[in-house]
């Protein structure tokens, strides 16, 4: 360590020098990670994990907010629904510019590829929920056995 | 008020796990409530603390699915542990796959935020997180959940490469956790009395860090025999020192009876060296808590350990 030329890493540790690559987990860290920080409260789905509050310092709150901002994505429910624009067309009988936009949105909604994607997204959600419930139950059932094994 | 401290380096074999268990035991013995989280799939922390290898399932599922963590309570007085193990190999692929699909995972922070010591309303004073060297995603997950980072390093050139790796991961993780702070670098595994070497390496590390953080004044000495004694018996440095005290009186009794002093279960290390090692950890623990106290407001963390 003493003979060779050494890089100065100070900038990387203080934030002055940007890293060679971006974080590999920023996109995959969920909003629940951020929501567990102080002041943000625990999300209902994660009550068992977050318990009675974080107790972390306020210096982490900004971090939590940043992570939340980075990880929020549009939900499937925010996709424009076809029903209102069908009603609008019936009302006027003439297609306005906004109606044309609505028609385009409806066509997108009826796109079979998109519909398939939505179907599989939905099924994935159902499977994930099933998996979590099953693993939770298995963990609860096997916990006493594991505990005995740990201290044997 | 808890502080989460990650112990990490990009290179293996620099003393991360030994340092984590030694510091945790020392600080818990001094009266603080400590939680240790082992995020290494190799799960060697269990050997250091004497409870043996675990599967790491609970921690893996908490990170990827947000399930409640199983905590091994009372591994020592005021010391609880979340075990690592081979199941943590599955965490990185899960993050890569979910990130590509645009869906999200909870990560480490919500899992440990909800943990509390049993039998008290108070929180942990300190959470120490041991990290694997070759798993960038696991290391970044720990950095995203931590307040401070301590980097142990040895005196060789390869350890410098590890510093560069961990510096890059640190900088990348600050995009998620801008408050993450490098608390300092610990020189680990140097021979006691190598003052010239220690001085030179310390100066080199100071140059490399460029004033971003200090090199801790306390180094942890290299003692192979003590390391073997501790791992084979699941003892921490201060416990090895206590065992030596007991063993010395037993040896004297055997000698008085005219029996050989050495038996099959005799310790390999000397009592003086075990005492020196325990003193190193005590000094480093005090220095670490002082450094945390310096980063926080002065009234939040007491210094004495």
Q: For position A47, what pLDDT does the model report?
A: 33
Instruction: Name the minimum distance, in Å, from the CA of B137 to any CA of chain A.
Output: 7
Q: For position B266, what pLDDT does the model report?
A: 72
Closest residue in B to A32 (Cα) is B106
Q: Are the C-beta atoms of residues A11 and B210 closer than 8 Å to each other? A: yes
DSSP codes joined into one string, chain B: --EEEEE--SSSSSSHHHHHHHHHHHHHHTT--EEEEE--TT-THHHHHTS-----HHHHHHHHH-PPPP-EEEEETTEEEE---GGGGGHHHHHHHHHHHT--B--SHHHHHT---TT-SSPPSEEEEE--SS-HHHHHHHHHH-SEEEEEE-SSHHHHHHHHHHHHHHHHHTTT-TT-EEEEEEEEEEPTT-HHHHHHHHHHHHHHHTTSSPBPS--EEP-HHHHHHHHHHT--HHHHHHHHHHHHHHHHHHHHTT--S--TT--SS-HHHHHHHHHHHHHHHHHHHHHHHHHS-TTTS----
Residue closest to B136 by CA, chosen among B164, B112, B166, B161 = B166
In the stretch 220-259 of chain B, residues with CB closer than 8 A to chain A read none
Phi and psi at B30, nearest 5°, equal: -85, 0
Residues of A in contact with B54 (CB under 8 A): 150
Chain segment B254-298, per-residue pLDDT in tens: 777 777 666 656 778 777 788 888 899 999 999 999 999 887 754
pTM of the model: 0.69
Instruction: Name the minimum distance, in Å, from the CA of B210 to any CA of chain A.
Output: 4
In the stretch 93-132 of chain A, residues with CB closer than 8 A to chain B read 131-132
Chain segment A39-95, per-residue pLDDT in tens: 333 333 333 333 333 334 434 333 333 333 333 333 333 433 333 333 333 344 444
Q: For position B60, what pLDDT does the model report?
A: 93
> Across the A/B interface, how many CB contacts are shorter than 8 Å?
204
State yes or no: pLDDT of A113 exceeds 70.
Answer: yes
Q: For position B152, what pLDDT does the model report?
A: 94
Please give the average per-residue pLDDT across A31-41, as a whole number: 39
Closest residue in B to A24 (Cα) is B137
State yes or no: pLDDT of B226 exceeds 60.
Answer: yes
Chain segment B151-197, per-residue pLDDT in tens: 999 988 888 778 888 999 999 999 889 999 999 999 998 887 788 88
3-class secondary-structure state, position A101: helix
Nearest to B160 among A1, A19, A48 (CB): A1
Work out the mean pLDDT of chain B and round it to a whole number.
86
Chain segment B45-58, per-residue pLDDT in tens: 988 888 877 899 99
3-class secondary-structure state, position A29: strand
Say if the Cβ atoms of A24 and B140 lie within 8 Å: yes
Q: What is the ipTM of this complex?
A: 0.79
A142 near B CB under 8 A: no
Say if the Cβ atoms of B106 and A46 lie within 8 Å: yes
């Amino acid at each position: 360590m003493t003979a060779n030329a050494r890089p100065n890493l100070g900038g990387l540790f203080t934030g002055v020098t940007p890293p060679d690559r971006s974080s590999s987990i920023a996109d995959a860290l969920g909003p629940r990670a951020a929501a567990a920080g102080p002041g943000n409260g625990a999300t209902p789905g994660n009550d068992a994990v977050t318990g009675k509050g974080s107790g972390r310092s306020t210096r982490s709150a900004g971090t939590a907010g940043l992570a939340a901002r980075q990880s929020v994505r549009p939900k499937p429910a925010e996709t424009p629904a076809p029903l209102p624009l069908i009603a609008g067309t019936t009302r006027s009988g003439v297609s306005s510019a906004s109606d044309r936009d609505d028609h385009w949105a409806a066509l997108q909604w009826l796109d079979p590829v998109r519909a398939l994607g939505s179907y599989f997204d939905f099924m994935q959600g159902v499977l994930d929920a099933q998996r979590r419930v099953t693993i939770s139950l298995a963990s609860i059932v096997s916990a006493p056995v594991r505990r005995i094994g740990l201290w044997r | 008020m808890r502080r989460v401290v990650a112990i990490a380096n990009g290179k293996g074999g620099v003393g991360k796990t030994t340092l984590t268990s030694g510091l945790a035991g020392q600080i818990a013995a001094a009266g603080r409530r400590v939680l240790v989280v082992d995020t290494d799939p190799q799960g060697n922390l269990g050997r250091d603390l004497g409870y043996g290898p675990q599967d790491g399932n609970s921690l893996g599922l908490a990170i990827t699915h947000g399930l409640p963590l199983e905590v091994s309570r009372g591994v020592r007085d005021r010391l609880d542990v979340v075990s690592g193990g081979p199941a943590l190999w599955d965490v990185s692929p899960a993050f890569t796959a979910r990130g590509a699909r645009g869906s999200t995972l909870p990560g480490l922070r919500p899992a440990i935020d909800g943990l509390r010591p049993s039998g008290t309303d108070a929180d942990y004073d300190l959470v120490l997180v041991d990290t694997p060297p070759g798993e960038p995603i696991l290391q970044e997950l720990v950095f995203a959940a931590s307040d401070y980072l301590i980097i142990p390093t040895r005196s060789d050139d390869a350890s410098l490469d590890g510093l560069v790796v961990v510096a890059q991961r640190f900088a990348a993780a600050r995009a998620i956790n801008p408050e993450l702070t490098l608390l300092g670098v610990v020189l680990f595994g140097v021979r006691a009395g190598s003052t010239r070497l220690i001085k030179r390496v310390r100066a080199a590390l100071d140059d490399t860090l460029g004033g971003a953080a200090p090199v801790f004044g306390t180094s942890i000495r290299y003692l192979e025999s003590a390391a073997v004694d501790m791992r084979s018996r699941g003892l921490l440095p201060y416990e090895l020192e206590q065992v030596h005290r007991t063993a010395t009186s037993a040896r004297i009794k055997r000698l008085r009876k005219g029996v050989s002093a050495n038996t099959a279960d005799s310790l390999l290390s000397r009592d003086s060296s075990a005492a020196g090692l325990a003193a190193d950890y005590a000094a480093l623990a005090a220095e670490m808590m002082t450094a945390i106290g310096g980063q926080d407001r002065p009234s939040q963390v007491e210094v004495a350990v």
